[in-house]
Amino acid sequence: MNNIKKKLSKGWVAAGLSLALVFTGSIGMGAASAHAATATSAQVKADRIISMGNHYLGTPYLYGARSGRTDRFDCSSFVQYLFKKQGISLPRTSAQQSKVGKYVPKSQLKKGDLVFFSTRHSHGRVAHVAIYAGNGKILHTYGAPGVTYSSLNSKWWSSHYITARRVLN
């Protein structure tokens, strides 16, 4: 009888340890899964923003275009509009937008990051915003081309680059 009690007792201890390991492992996996889900959610939003932006390729540029207007955009109204459609509120101007989210080094840009530039007349201050589209490309609007893609690595854009911010979580 004592041998049976000892075996049963050892069995319960082993079962308890197994369950503890299972639960501990699943808690750890839960945190990893939550992180992966957040990353996936940000990627999905970035892809949606860029896809929606593609629908506006060639839409004319208008400096100071009001928020919500879709027949013409300026750089910051374009970015604000696309992000708002994904439930993300951004300020109206590129200078204001350059202060939201978290700083991202140029070497760590991801799709959907906001990329900021100076212009000829801004004296080194932020005056233009674009959306990083991946593969060294930015989606934005300016001047004659209107909504377009440009190479972040081109001489003009790389020499006017100031900073980048991540607002997608």
Residue 140 annotated as catalytic: yes
Asked whether residue 126 is assigned to any structural domain, the reply reads: yes
| Residue of 35, 55, 75, 160 marked active site | 75
CB 150 within 8 A of CB 140: yes
State the total domains in the chain.
1
Residue 24 counted as domain residue: no
Tell me whether residue 42 is in a domain: no
Assigned domain for 17 exists: no
Residue 128 appears among annotated catalytic residues: yes
Is residue 51 one of the residues assigned to a domain? yes
pLDDT of residue 15: 43
- Close Cβ partners of 117 (under 8 Å, ≥ 6 residues apart): 126, 127, 128, 129, 130, 157, 160, 161, 162
Is 20 a domain residue? no
pLDDT of residue 2: 52
Cβ proximity of 158 and 136 under 8 Å: no
Alpha helical stretches, state H, the chain: 2-54, 75-84, 94-97, 155-160
Mean pLDDT by 10 residues, the chain (169 residues): 48 42 41 60 96 98 96 98 97 98 98 97 97 98 97 98 96
Quickly count: other Cβ atoms within 10 Å of residue 56's Cβ: 19
Alpha helices (H) along 55-168? 75-84, 94-97, 155-160
For residue 86, tell me if it sits in a domain.
Answer: yes
Residue 105 in any domain: the answer is: yes
Residue 40: the pLDDT is 81
- Residue 130's identity, in one-letter code, is A
What is the domain-level CATH number for residue 104? 3.90.1720.10
Question: What sign does the dihedral 88-78-45-154 (CA atoms) show?
Answer: negative
Q: What residues make up the domain containing 81?
A: 47-166
Is residue 75 among the annotated active site residues?
Answer: yes
Q: Which of 35, 55, 123, 140 is the catalytic position?
A: 140
The token pair at 60 is: 């004319």
